Amino acid sequence: MTETESYHARIEAVVERYRADRNEFEPPDDPPAPEQAMDYCREGLGPAVMIYVDARANDWGVRFSEREFDLLHEAMNGYLALYTACYGVETDPDAAIREAAELLLDTHNIRDVAAMLTGVPERATGDG
């Protein structure tokens, strides 16, 4: 299997998992459900972002097709929507995979990445 085929297989797997998670998703009865949100970060969002990080940081020759970028975009933004739904917030995220990757490299924390990209949970202010 070539490097490109390996990345394609990883992309297909993360998208399949996202679609299964989306179909099985039940909104929490009493949001927020931060543990469930973290599961989506750890098991879905993180792996989706790491595909891009690995390709850019470790395998400079790997190029993604438009379809592969579309699939990564679907999975990443889909997991962000599931993450916010765990907080009782309905969103339709449209974040770029590159932005998510840069945030992950800066923060080393996928939950922080999700929070920064979505604004959920809302940050407390010092006003009160």
Residues 23-79 have pLDDT tens digits of 999 999 999 999 999 999 999 999 999 999 999 988 777 889 999 999 999 999 999
Determine the Cα–Cα distance for residues 102 and 109; give it in Å rounded to an integer.
11
Question: pLDDT at position 128, please?
Answer: 45
Residue 123 counted as domain residue:
no
Residue 127 counted as domain residue:
no
Report cis status (omega within 30 of 0) of the bond before 93.
Answer: no
Task: Say if residue 117's pLDDT is above 80.
Answer: yes
In sequence order, which residues have a C-beta less than 8 Å from that of residue 74 and are 6 or more positions away? Answer: 15, 18
Residue 94 counted as domain residue:
yes
Looking at the structure of the chain, the number of domains it has is 1
Domain extent at residue 60: 3-118
Q: Which of 60, 59, 58, 55 has the alpha carbon at shortest distance from 98?
A: 55
Q: Which of 119, 72, 114 has the alpha carbon at shortest distance from 97?
A: 72
Question: pLDDT at position 123, please?
Answer: 73
Determine the Cα–Cα distance for residues 40 and 36; give it in Å rounded to an integer.
7
Cα atoms in the Cβ-side hemisphere of radius 13 Å centred on 75? 27
Task: Say if residue 127's pLDDT is above 60.
Answer: no
Task: Say if residue 124's pLDDT is above 70.
Answer: no
